[in-house]
Structure 1
């Protein structure tokens, strides 16, 4: 399992519940567990990609729920029932909280183009590969 650097004060289960009440949506259990452990987080390696480095998505960090400069939030330009959860090298990550695609992870580079990349937060995390050795040995 990938470990992340804790960049912000950790949140409590009560703060997580308060966030769900504020956005009026429920979060997937795997994502809640991650947020309670890291409250966002930055990969320990700069070279974590979902997919191959040439055409994959390099994860920069996950937004925090509380205490960070960049917070998880509902964005007006995202589809209804989506929240913005993180930053990639060139775009952003969103999570669907609707019934049909609950927990699915999307990457987006503009306000209208979302691309499904994983059906769950766990699938996204498990799909991350550390390419540090490849880049550092060049």
Structure 2
């Protein structure tokens, strides 16, 4: 996983991950845990994902933190608890880990280790509002690329 992240929250350790899993009664994939041990939330240098099936890009605004949130971040647990438990919008095996600029969520399906984007335009999950992106968290991170406007800014 060679994408660098900035503005991350304070580092977490294995005990923090175990506590997080126990608290939410979930089991995280190993590649997800490795990433969060290195980068706890934050903003990736490469933040655009090309959705080939729809011939469009989606852009990540921020990854959520597991704990130690700064003033601009959110904790995964808070987003998950709000959507999956309080509002019953999200199935419990979908764990939101990032968002785009419109508030749509990037989620990992904990049963399959697949990555999806969840469009929350209407505040509900309906047919077509969950779209498959790729298999595996590490694969997702590796498929992120520079956004076109980021490349123009460098010139």
The alignment's TM-score, normalised by the length of structure 1, stands at 0.85
Does the residue aligned with 1:51 lie in a helix, a strand or coil?
Answer: strand
Where do 5+ consecutive residues of structure 1 fail to align?
none
Equivalent residue pairs, number: 131
Distance of 2:92 and 2:26 partners within structure 1: 11
Q: Which has the higher helix share?
A: 2
Match for residue 84 of structure 1 among 89, 96, 101 = 96
Shift of 1:117: 0.4
Would you say the 8 A contact 2:45–2:146 is kept in 1? no
1:93 correspondence with 2:110: no
Structure 1 counterpart of 2:50: 51
Matches of 1:122 and 1:6, distance apart in 2: 20
Query: Any stretches of 5+ residues in structure 2 without a counterpart?
Result: none
Shift in Å, 1:95: 1.0
* RMSD of aligned alpha carbons: 1.9
User: 1:105 is matched with which residue?
Assistant: 115
Does 2:119 match 1:115? no
Deviation of residue 24 (structure 1)? Answer: 0.7
- Secondary structure of 1:70's counterpart equals coil
Taking structure 2 as the reference length, the TM-score comes to: 0.77
